Amino acid sequence: MVLKVLGAALLIFLALSLVGAVFKFLGAALVIGAIVLVGAAGYSALKGAKRKQLP
């Protein structure tokens, strides 16, 4: 009985650890994606502004 309880606790701990690692990765990916998006938008805006000035 004690081994079943310890086994269940171990499985729950491993599952929560895995979920935590996934969310940590997704948080980092979200920050990197936001930086790339802002950079691409800024670059596009600068390129577009230069094109509009030419006749």
Residue 51's pLDDT band, with cuts at 50, 70 and 90, is low
Give the pLDDT confidence of 1-49 residue by residue, as tens digits.
999 999 999 999 999 999 999 999 999 999 999 999 999 999 988 887 6
In this structure, what are the phi and psi dihedrals at residue 20, rounded to the nearest 5 degrees?
Answer: -65, -40
The pLDDT value recorded for residue 30 is 96
The pLDDT value recorded for residue 48 is 75
In this structure, what are the phi and psi dihedrals at residue 54, rounded to the nearest 5 degrees?
Answer: -80, 140
* DSSP category for residue 1: -
* Structure tokens given for 34: 């936001």
What is the C-alpha to C-alpha distance for residues 22 and 6, in angstroms, rounded to an integer?
Answer: 24
What is the C-alpha to C-alpha distance for residues 36 and 44, in angstroms, rounded to an integer?
Answer: 12
